[in-house]
Structure 1
Amino acid sequence: MAKYSFKYGKDKIDININDEHIIQTLFPKEAPFLKDIPKEVVKSLENPIGAPPLKEIVRSGEKVVIVVSDVTRLWVRTNEFLIHIVNYLNAQGIGDKDISILIALGSHRPSTEEEKKAIVGDDVYNRIAIYDHNCFDETKLCYLGESSFGTPIYINEKVINADRVILTGGIVFHLFAGFGGGAKSMVPGVAGIKTIQHNHRLTFYEGEGAGLNPDARSNKISGNPMREDITEICRRVNPDFLFNAVLDAEGNFIEFVAGDFEEAWLKGCNTIRKLYGISIKEKADIIVASAGGYPKDINLYQTVKTMDNCLYGGKEGSVIILISECREGLGAEEFLKWFKYKTLDEMESALKKNFTVPGYAAYKTMYTAKYRKVIFISSLPDDIVEKLGFIPSHDIGNALEIAYSLSPSSPKITVMPFGGNTLPIM
C-alpha cells in the first residue's frame, strides 16, 4: 500500500491505495520562479517577442489603455506586475492622467471598488482611472464588421479610441479556448455580448443536437474554431502590446512573456505545456483527483476544470473520485438552474440560444456524469450532488470502495493531486 495526500480546502485528505494498481501519479513539473519582479517586468517590456520594445511603441502624450483580468482571475496577481508597467510608461513620458485601466469583465458582473483595488493594487488604484467593461451597453461599443466565422465584432470604445492598447493576463490551459490569456483579453474580455455569444457557440457543432466540437478543447490552438475566431478578431483590432504571466501550481511567477499578442502568448503556451501537460501511456479505470485545495476548490464552478482534465486521463465509463471542498457552494448563481434541462440535447439547444459560461460549465458537468461515474467528495449537500448526476461521499475510504465496486478487478488507477493544473496527454 502507498499513502497519497490530496488537498481539500485548506486541509488535506490521506488515503492508502494498493500501489500495484497505480499506473501513474501526475504532478506539475517544477520550474524556478522569478524573484526580482520589477526587474523581470522591465526586462520583458524591453525584450519582447514579435514586436519592438514598448518604449519604441509609445509616445509622450498618447492615451494608453491597459486591459486587465477581472476578480475571477486574481490568481494572475496583476497587482504585483501592473504597477511596474505603469511606472515604465511614466518613464517614457506617459503621465498617469493619460493611462486608463479597463477591466476585462467579458459577460461577468461589475466589479466592486474593493475588487478593483484587489485587482490593480493600492498604488495603481489611487493613481489611475479604472473602468469596468460592460458587454451589454451597445452605446459604449464599436462595431467592426464580422469575422470569417460570422461573428459580429463589437469592442469597447475605449480600446478602439485609444492611441495605444496593452493587453495583460495569465496563461493556463482552458477547457474550450485551448489556453487562457492572449487574445482572450479582447474576446470575451472587452467584447460585446453578441460577439461573446456567437464566438462561444463555436464550442458546439452547428445543428440541433450536434454536440460538442471536440476541437474546441484544452491544449488545442490550431483547428480550434473558437480560438481561431478570437485570434482573428484580436488581429482586426490589432492591440499594440501584450504582457502575460505564467505561474506555477503554488502561484509563483515563473515566466513573463511580452510583445505581439499572438507570438508572445504562444511562447507562454509552450511553457504551460511543458509544466502541466503530462504524458500518459494508457488511460485509467479509476482517477483519484483533487482540484488542488483552496482557492482552486472554492466552488463547483472552479472545479469544472479539474473535471475536464480528468476526462482526458480515463477510459469512457471509468470512475472519477473528485475531491473538492466547494466551501462557497456551486459558485455561480445560475449554474444549478441549467439542470432544469434533463438531457444534454436540451441543454445544448438552450446554450445555443443563450450561451453563458456557467451554462457551459453545467453542460460539461452533465456530460461528465453521462460518460463517467463520478464520486464527489465535497461539503455540498447530498441532494445537490445527486442532482448533478454524481455519487456523494464524505469519506475517501468509502469513495475508493465504491470506485472498486464499479470497476473491473485489479483496476488501473491514476492519481492527480493537482487536477486543476495537470492535463493528461496521450
Structure 2
Amino acid sequence: MLTWFHSILNLTNDTYKGGIHIKILRVEMLHSRQMNVRLRYGCGEIELSLPSYLDVVSRLRPLYRDKEYVSSIDILIRRALSNSIGVSLKELVSRSKKGEKSTVVILSDDISRPTPAWAIIPYILKELNSLGIGNNQVKIIIALGTHREMNNNELKIKLGEEILKQVEVTQHNAYDYDKLLYMGKTSSGIAIWLNKEYYEADIKIGLGNIAPHPAAGWSGGSKIVVPGVCGAETVDMVHFYSALHPIEDIFGVRDNVIRNELDEIALKSGLGMIINTVLDGRKKVIDIVAGDVVDAHRYGVEIAEDIYRPKTPIADIAIVSAYPYDIDYWQAGKGYLAAYLALRRGGAAILFAKLPEGISAIPQHSKTLLTLGNLTPNEIEVRVRRGEVDDVAAASVAMLISRVREKVELYIVTDSLNSRECEKLGLIKISPREIDDVIEKTRRKFGKNPGILIIEDSSIAPHTY
C-alpha cells in the first residue's frame, strides 16, 4: 500500500532554494525494507519509497562529465571555429560571389532549446568582422518552426542584450506564406517552403544543440532549417513522414530516412555550416562542433551518443520523470518514447509530468491531441490522408505516442490534467499511491516480480542488451 505524506495539491512541506519554489513530495510503500527514488517534478522533486524486493534493473540519465574534463564555452567555441570540419567561416566568405559585401544570416533556435546562442554569436561576429563583414550585414533569424514567437525578455536571455543592440533580429513565421519561397519537392515528395529572408542571404550559418530527437533521430545539424525556417506545410509533412516509421528506426539513430530529408532540404537551401553544442546530464556544454552540415553533425552525434544512449537490461515497468521536457504534454511525451526503447511488450510506462502549460501552449495542438490521442496509428494516418486533420504536426505526435501505447500501457502522474483529458490522450491518470496497483498488475501478467527501470531525465534514448 502506498501512503501520501504530502498531497500534490495541498503541500505542507514547501521549501525555497535559490529563489525557486521547490515542492518536495513523498510517497511511501509500507514495507519493512525500502529503496528511495527521487524524480524531478516541475521545480521540485517527488520522492518514492519502493519495496526493496523489486528489481531495479537501471537508473538512467544522461552521463555527467567530470568537471576537470570540461572546458569553458569560450575555449570550446574558439577551438571549434579553429578546427571546423569540412568548411570554415573564412571559406564561406571566400566562396561567396560578393565576398566582403556578402549578407549573412545566423539561424538560432528558440528559448525552448538549451543552445547558448548568447555565448556563441559574439565569436561568429568577431570572425566575420575580421573577414571584412560588418554587423550591419548580419541578421539573426530565430528559427521557430511552428513554435510560438519569443517575447523580448526571452530574446534577451537567448541572445544577450549586447547582441540585440548590434544585430537585426527577426523571428520566423511558418504560416506567413507571403514571406516564404516554394523550392520544389524532396526526393520523397515533400513540398519545400523556405523563409525568404534566410534563402536570399549570401552566407547561412545554423546554430543548434545535439540530443536524441524522436522525429529526426537527433536534434542539431540540418534540423535548424527543417523545421526551423520552413513553412507549416513542410513541417507537417516531415513530422508525418517520420511518424509512419517504427520509433526504433528513427529515435537515437543518426543516419535515417528522416535525417536524409532534413539534410537534403538544408543543402538545397544553401546552409553553409553549422555550429552545434553537446551538453551533459548537468546541462553543461561539454563540446562544440563546427563545419559541414552533414559531417560535423555526424561527429557531434558520436560525442553525444556517449552521453545520451545508456545501455540497460530490458525492463517491465518504467518510472519516468518528464524533465527537462515537462513544460507541457506536447514536449513531455518524449518520456514515453525513451521508455519505449527499453520496455518489454506488455509492460507499463509511468510518467511524472508537472505540465504547467497543460497539453500545449498552442490551442490547435491541444485540440488535435485531445481529438486523436486515443486512436490507433492506422486510424490517425487514415484521417490525415483523407484531409480531415488541419494540424498534421500534432497528429504526428499523437501517432508516435499511439505506437508506444500499442507496446505498453501508458500511465501519468500530473496535477495539471484531469482524468477525462488524460483518457482522450490515451493515458491512464493515477496518483502515486496507485503505482503499487500497476506493479501488481504487471507482476500477474508476467508471473514474476517486474523489473523496474527508473528514467531520471527524458532526454535519453536508451538501448537494451
Q: TM-score, normalized by length of structure 1?
A: 0.89
Match of 1:403 in 2: 439
CA displacement at 1:394 relative to structure 2: 2.8
The answer to whether residue 338 in structure 2 is matched with residue 309 in structure 1 is: yes
The answer to whether residue 44 in structure 2 is matched with residue 11 in structure 1 is: yes
CA displacement at 1:112 relative to structure 2: 2.9
Q: What is the alpha-carbon distance in structure 1 between the residues aligned to residue 384 and residue 449 of structure 2?
A: 40
Q: What is the alpha-carbon distance in structure 2 between the residues aligned to residue 135 and residue 298 of structure 1?
A: 22
CA displacement at 1:194 relative to structure 2: 3.1
CA 1:388–1:137: 2 relative to 1, 3 Å: closer
CA displacement at 1:267 relative to structure 2: 1.1
Show structure 2 runs of 5+ residues with no match.
Answer: 1-33, 94-98
C-alpha contact 1:66 1:99 (8 A) present in aligned 2: yes
Q: What is the alpha-carbon distance in structure 2 between the residues aligned to residue 385 and residue 96 of structure 1?
A: 49
C-alpha contact 2:217 2:251 (8 A) present in aligned 1: yes
Q: What is the alpha-carbon distance in structure 1 between the residues aligned to residue 365 and residue 234 of structure 2?
A: 22
CA 1:245–1:125: 2 relative to 1, 3 Å: same
The answer to whether residue 90 in structure 2 is matched with residue 55 in structure 1 is: yes
Show structure 1 runs of 5+ residues with no match.
Answer: 206-211
C-alpha contact 1:322 1:376 (8 A) present in aligned 2: yes
Match of 1:289 in 2: 320
Q: Note the 1:218-297 alignment, pairs <5 A.
A: 218-222=251-255, 224-281=256-313, 283-292=314-323, 295-297=324-326
In our comparison, the structure showing a higher alpha carbon Rg is 2
SS of the aligned residue for 1:14 comes to: strand
CA 1:336–1:285: 2 relative to 1, 3 Å: same
CA displacement at 1:418 relative to structure 2: 1.7
C-alpha contact 2:212 2:219 (8 A) present in aligned 1: yes
C-alpha contact 2:142 2:171 (8 A) present in aligned 1: yes
SS of the aligned residue for 2:333 comes to: helix
Match of 2:351 in 1: 322
CA displacement at 1:235 relative to structure 2: 1.9
C-alpha contact 2:135 2:166 (8 A) present in aligned 1: yes
CA displacement at 1:32 relative to structure 2: 4.2
Q: What is the alpha-carbon distance in structure 1 between the residues aligned to residue 404 and residue 127 of structure 2?
A: 46
CA 1:314–1:113: 2 relative to 1, 3 Å: same
Q: What is the alpha-carbon distance in structure 1 between the residues aligned to residue 63 and residue 53 of structure 2?
A: 22
C-alpha contact 1:334 1:359 (8 A) present in aligned 2: no
| Partner amino acid, structure 1, of 2:424 | K
- Count matched residues: 413
SS of the aligned residue for 1:108 comes to: coil
Match of 2:399 in 1: 363
Match of 2:424 in 1: 387
1:318-367 CA-to-partner distances (Å, cap 9, x unmatched) read: 01121111122112423442232452233223344445433322333344
| Cα root mean square deviation, aligned | 2.3
Q: Note the 1:186-197 alignment, pairs <5 A.
A: 186-197=225-236
SS of the aligned residue for 1:76 comes to: coil
The answer to whether residue 410 in structure 2 is matched with residue 374 in structure 1 is: yes
Match of 2:5 in 1: none
C-alpha contact 1:135 1:193 (8 A) present in aligned 2: yes
Q: TM-score, normalized by length of structure 2?
A: 0.82
The answer to whether residue 330 in structure 2 is matched with residue 334 in structure 1 is: no
